[in-house]
Amino acid sequence: MKKIIIALAVIAATLLLPGCSHNTGAFTLGTRINAGLDPQNATANLSYTDGLNVVDVSRENTSWDIEIDADNGVSVDDSTGTVKGVKRLRRDVGPQITGYLVDLAAKDPEMAKTYVKSMKLYWQYRLEKLREADSRTE
């Protein structure tokens, strides 16, 4: 009985932990088999992939930028484990609204306003940089 209670406690803790605002991601290269349950949609899934796999669990204001060699694709040198064909890999996580901001607003409303203003400036800066990059490629 004690083992059952411990197992239930571990399961309960595991279900509560994903409520945080962390942004996790992983890349795998090779063969991957995944079986699971999507709790958001209450659907079971089973997948098989062979190649570059991106697993991303993120909140708002995140993006990936991946550039792969169009002629050769992605490959792995089996003797060295070296990944070939990925030219660029970039992940951005921008400012986000989370429960932490709600807590901050309750304790220090002015600081919360400053954070939101900073977010606005951040996105304006990013937009300007994108426009500059686009104008260089034209």
Is residue 131 scored above 70 in pLDDT? yes
Residue 41's contacts (CB-CB under 8 Å, 6 or more residues apart) are none
Residues of the domain holding 116:
95-137
Q: Is residue 18 part of a domain?
A: no
DSSP string, 50-75: EEEEEEEE--SSEEEEEEE-TTT--E
Q: Is residue 90 part of a domain?
A: no
Q: Is residue 52 part of a domain?
A: no
Instruction: Report the b/e string of 40-73 with b at 16+ CB within 10 A.
Output: eeeeeeeeeeeebeeeeebeebeeeeeeeeeeee
> Over pLDDT 70: what percentage of the chain?
85
What is the reported pLDDT for 14? 55
Structurally, the chain folds into a number of domains equal to: 1
| 47, 33 Cβ separation under 8 angstroms | yes
As a whole number of angstroms, the distance between CA 103 and CA 105 comes to: 5
Q: Is residue 99 part of a domain?
A: yes
Q: Which residue has better confidence, 70 or 8? A: 70
Backbone angles phi, psi at 33, to 5 degrees: -120, 130
Q: Which of 104, 99, 92 is nearest to 19 (CA)?
A: 99
Q: Is residue 8 part of a domain?
A: no
Tens digits of residue pLDDT in 75-84: 878 788 777 8
Q: Is residue 83 part of a domain?
A: no
As a whole number of angstroms, the distance between CA 94 and CA 21 comes to: 12
Question: Average pLDDT for residues 10-28, to the nearest whole number?
Answer: 61
pTM: 0.48
